[in-house]
Amino acid sequence: MISRILVRLAVIGAVVALRMPADAFADSAAGAATSAAANSAAQPRALPRIARLDNQRITVSGVSSGAAMAVQLGVAYSGRVSGVGIIGGPPYLCADGSLLRAFNTCLIFGGAWLDRLTGSTPTGAGCQPREGRPLDLPGMIEATRGLEKRKAIDPIAGIAGQKVWEFRGRCDEVVGNNASVALAGFYRQFGAELRAATRPDVGHTLPTDKPDQGPCNAEDKDYISSCNFDAVGEMLHHLLPGAPAARAPAGGEWLRFDQAAYVEGGQDADRRVKSISMAREGRLFVPAICAARSCTVHVALHGCQQGIDDAVFENFVRQSGYAEWANSIGLVVLFPRVTALDKFDSLIYRVGNPQGCWDWWGYTNASFGDALRYASRDAPQMRAIMSTVGALAGP
């Protein structure tokens, strides 16, 4: 999924990003290429109101920085989120509002590269599982309780019974095993129903069973990989018990919607989205089955860099597997999109997000004096996502 961590020096600080580009997609459904081309040419619009939609209890998932955002949504809005899918992501409040902590503690940076450079890992030895630094689980739990006491998040009791699915490849060179250990401890503390999964030859990628997504263990630019494992399907079956065993073709309507309409602020539309590093457009998939039956909402969150380029974002949307399962299960899938700003806009809006990551360390906190605002209900990206969810069922 997100390929690797990039470190860029800006003035004195280091800017870290989980990277997850992807190749252009090839639609599997008959005639879908024509439909997709027509769709991409259409102007973004307001979200439609879907008559047969239950958006009161939703599920969320993501990859790498998107996984971190899914965890934050699940905790901050635990009264509405019934399930959380995590693919290669760190635990809640791991960064504690600090980019340096996110970089130095939550992630593994450069360990595998350094081992190969120095010859510590023999050629052909395969990947070496990496632990990463021990994480401060008691501190994360205490900080979460503090946010609850301030009423900055929903009551923690909402996490109890929440279904959580976590995947981390054994060959992950971005998120170490200690992150998974801390994440499991966090959810056990609050009574969630956690299921963990891994695969021996999978790195920091979204594994699929699609044969055209590239080698599973290759460090190429796809990061939606052919691993003979349908991660999205496995995840959705845990989050939504009773889901059908087989997926269906991705029949339905693909829509581009204007995210600015759901971002708070008095400035013009472009300024609103740029102020929190969100893209102007997001994507929505409404399965054909939802015209005849009640459906629920799933929010799918891409990783760093995957929202910057249209073709890369489209690959995540189309090739990750959400749409096929959505048409089988009855899920309206929302694909919010975050992006990067150029250097000029970064200075104007004071948003340091050059790799287009979801905010899991606090880059949207500027001038608010609250280091943990990014992980609370006041977080502007999370408020925008929940506003889009609310708009789907109408007033």
Is 50 exceeded by the pLDDT of residue 4?
Answer: no
Q: Scanning the structure block, which residue is given the tokens 């460090």?
A: 219
Residue 166: which of 67, 65, 58, 18 has the closest Cα? 67
> Mean pLDDT over all residues of the chain?
83
Averaged over 373-379, what is the pLDDT?
A: 96
- Band of pLDDT at residue 219, cut at 50, 70 and 90: low
In a domain, 69, yes or no: yes
| Conformational region of residue 161, where left means phi above 0, alpha means psi within -120 to 50, and beta covers everything else | left
Could you read off the pLDDT of 282-298 as tens digits, one per residue? 999 999 999 889 999 99
Could you read off the pLDDT of 202-212 as tens digits, one per residue? 988 899 999 88
Q: Which residues make beta-bridge pairs with 208?
A: 226
Averaged over 99-124, what is the pLDDT?
A: 63
User: Which residue pairs, CB below 8 angstroms and at least 24 apart, start in 368-374?
Assistant: 371/96, 371/97, 371/98, 372/93, 372/96, 372/97, 372/143, 372/147, 372/152, 373/152, 374/72, 374/97
What single DSSP character describes residue 48? Answer: P
In a domain, 78, yes or no: yes
Task: Provide the domain limits for residue 179.
Answer: 5-24+52-392
* pLDDT for position 126: 57
In a domain, 29, yes or no: no
Give dist(CA 235, CA 315) in Å, integer.
Answer: 19
Give dist(CA 327, CA 344) in Å, integer.
Answer: 42
Query: Quick one: what percent of the chain has pLDDT higher than 70?
Result: 81
In a domain, 37, yes or no: no
Q: Which amino acid is at 268?
A: D
* pLDDT for position 282: 97
Could you read off the pLDDT of 112-152 as tens digits, one per residue? 444 444 444 444 445 766 788 889 999 999 999 999 999 99
Q: How many distinct structural domains can be found in the chain?
A: 1
- Band of pLDDT at residue 369, cut at 50, 70 and 90: low
In a domain, 235, yes or no: yes
Contact 131/173 with Cβ under 8 angstroms?
no
DSSP structure string for 5-24: EEEEEETTEEEEEE----PP
Contact partners, residue 160, CB within 8 Å, separation at least 6:
190, 191, 192
In a domain, 216, yes or no: yes
Averaged over 57-64, what is the pLDDT?
A: 96
In a domain, 45, yes or no: no
In a domain, 36, yes or no: no
* pLDDT for position 350: 77
- 244 or 81, greater pLDDT: 81
